[in-house]
Amino acid sequence: MKIFTSAQIHELDKYTIEHEPITSLNLMERAAKALTRAIEEEWSNRTPVVVFAGPGNNGGDALAVARLLSEDGYAVSVFLFNVHNKLSADCATNKKRLIEGKRVKQFTEVTVNFDPPQLEAGMLVVDGLFGSGLNKPLAGGFAAMVKYINQSAAKIVSIDLPSGLMSEDNSYNISANIIRADLTLTLQQKKLSMMMADNQQYLGRIKVLDIRLSPEFIQRTESRCSILEEKDIRQLLKPRGDFAHKGSMGTALLIAGSYGMSGASVLATRACLRTGVGKVITHTPKRNYEIMQISVPEAVLQMDTEETIFSEPVDTEDYHAMGIGPGLGTSEATAIALIAQLRRCTCPVVVDADALNILASHRAWMQQLPKNHIFTPHPRELDRLAGITSSNCTERLFKACELADRLHGYILLKGHFSALCHPDGKVEFCSTGNSGMATAGSGDVLTGIITALLARGYKQADAARIGMYLHGLAGDLAIKDLGKESLIASDLINYLPKAFLRIEE
C-alpha cells in the first residue's frame, strides 16, 4: 500500500473526479456512505451522536454522515463551525441537504460564540473539523474545542485523521490541541503520520475505507513511502527446488555472543537455521562452546582464540552472508576486531546490537563500511549512530533516511511499524508485529532471519523486506496462542515455520 503526501491525496481526488468521471459532491457522498457504514458497525442507533464539522471538505464529509445517520434512526446533533463565513462548495451543499432533510435532532452553525453541548459517557462524537489538508497546529477556538472534546467521557470517531494531526510531519505540533480518537476512519490509504509511534495516542484503532479512488492514478504515481503487505512478500519468495541440498541453500556466518551473553548467539543461530539456510557457522568465544553445542546441535561452531570476547576477524570467502553484533560486547579489543572484520568482509552483511553500539562510539569508522550493508537499530541505537537524540519519531525516521543515503546502505529501524530505509530515499513500513515482541532477544532473532535470507541468495532489499515481515508475522501468530504478556524471543523462532506456511499458501 502506497502512502501519499497530502498534496498527492489532493491530486488523487482531483484525478478521480476528472477521469471516472464523478462530481466532487458525489465522491463526497460515496465517502460519507462508507464512513456511515463503518460507524453503524460499531455503534447502534440507540447511541446519541454529536457531529462537529469544520468549514472545509472534511466538514462536508461530516455533514453528509450526520444526514445519513439521522436517516437511519440515529439521534444526531450537529455543530458546523463557520467562523470566517466561508464554507467549501461541497460543505455548503451538504449543509443545505442536512437542513432540508429535517431529520437531525439539532443543527447549530457556529459563527461567533459557541455554547458547547454536554458530552457524556454513552455518547458518540464524530470529529469532522479538519482532515489531511491541515498544515499547521490548531490554535484559538479550535484548540479549545479539541480540549473540550478530549476531556469528555464520550467515544470519539475521527474522519480521515484526528483533527489537529497533520498527515506527515508533526514535529512542531501541539499535543494538547489534537483530538484523541477511539477510532480513526481513514479514506483509501493510511497517512505517514499514522505510522509513527508517538501519534498512536491520537489515532486509536484505524480502519482504512476503500472509497474507490482512481486505481490508475494510485498505480502510476510514485510514492516515497509504502506499507509492505502479505501479497508483496509472497511475490518475493523463491521456490525451494526439489533437488536443493545444503550446499545450494547457502552458508551463513554469525559472529555473536560474549561471556554471559551466549543466549544472543543461540537465538540468532536458531533463527538463521529456521529460515532455511543450508549451513550456519557461528563464531563465538571459547566459553560459549558447551552452551552452543547443546542448545543448537545443528550449528557448526568456530571458536574465537579468546575465552570471553570476539577478538579477531575471520575470513569470509567461504560464506554467502554474515550477521554480526548480537551479544558481542563493546570492549576495545572487540571494537578493533569488529572494524577489521567489516573492512575485510566480502559477502553481504547484517550489522546489529553491539556492533552498532561500537560504530556509534567510533562514527568515523562507518565511512569505511562496504556498500549495501543492512543495519538493524532500535530507536535509541539509531540516535547513537546519528549522534543526536531525536525528539519524535518523524525526526528519527528522517535521520535514518539520511544515514542510509550517506552510508549507501539499508537502515531497518525497528519498532511496531518497522521502517526499511533504502539508500535511494524510499521507505517501506512493515505491517506485521505487535507489542508482545518488546522483549530481550527479539532483535537477535531478526538478525538470524535476515542473514539466512542473504545467504540463500536474496538481494539486500528483499532479504530485509521478507525478514522483517516474517519476524513480525511469527510474533502475530505466536500471540494468538500465547498472548502478548508471555511472548519470549524463542517463541518467534518456534512460530517461524507457521509464518512461512502462511505466506506460501
The three-state DSSP-derived secondary structure of 268-305 is HHHHHHHCCCCEEEEEECHHHHHHHHHHCCCCEEEECC
**Each residue's pLDDT expressed in tens, for the chain with a length of 505 residues:** 999 999 999 999 999 999 999 999 999 999 999 999 999 999 999 999 999 999 999 999 999 999 999 999 999 999 999 999 999 999 999 999 999 999 999 999 999 889 999 999 999 999 999 999 999 999 999 999 999 999 999 999 999 999 999 999 999 999 999 999 999 999 999 999 999 999 999 999 999 999 999 999 999 999 999 999 999 999 999 999 999 999 999 999 999 999 999 999 999 999 999 999 999 999 999 999 999 999 999 999 999 999 999 999 999 999 999 999 999 999 999 999 999 999 999 999 999 999 999 999 999 999 889 899 999 999 999 999 999 999 899 999 999 999 999 999 999 999 999 999 999 999 999 999 999 999 999 999 999 999 999 999 999 999 999 999 999 999 999 999 999 999 999 999 999 999 999 998 7
Paired with 399 in beta bridges are none
Query: Which regions of 437-498 does DSSP assign to beta strands (E)?
Result: none
**Residue 268 · residue 299 · CB < 8 Å:** no
Contact 212, 30 (CB under 8 A): yes
7: left (phi over 0), alpha (psi -120 to 50) or beta: alpha
pLDDT, residue 505, reads 78
Supply 61's cell numbers: 464529509
Rounded CA-CA distance 122/218 in Å is 39
**pTM > 0.75: yes or no:** yes
- Note the Cα 35 to chain centre separation in Å: 24
Q: How many angstroms separate the CA atoms of 384 and 466, rounded? A: 26
Quote the strand ranges of 118-160, DSSP E: 124-128, 155-159
DSSP annotation of 364 reads G
* Contact by Cβ (8 Å): 355, 443: no
Between the alpha carbon of residue 28 and those of residues 13, 156, 190, the distances in Å are: 10, 21, 18
Q: Which residues contact 42 (CB under 8 A, 6 or more apart)?
A: 157, 183
Contact 414, 437 (CB under 8 A): no
DSSP line for 300-349: EEEE-SSSSS--S----TT-SEEEE-TT----HHHHHHHHHHHHH--S-E
| pLDDT at residue 496, as a whole number | 98
Q: Which pLDDT value is given to residue 113?
A: 87
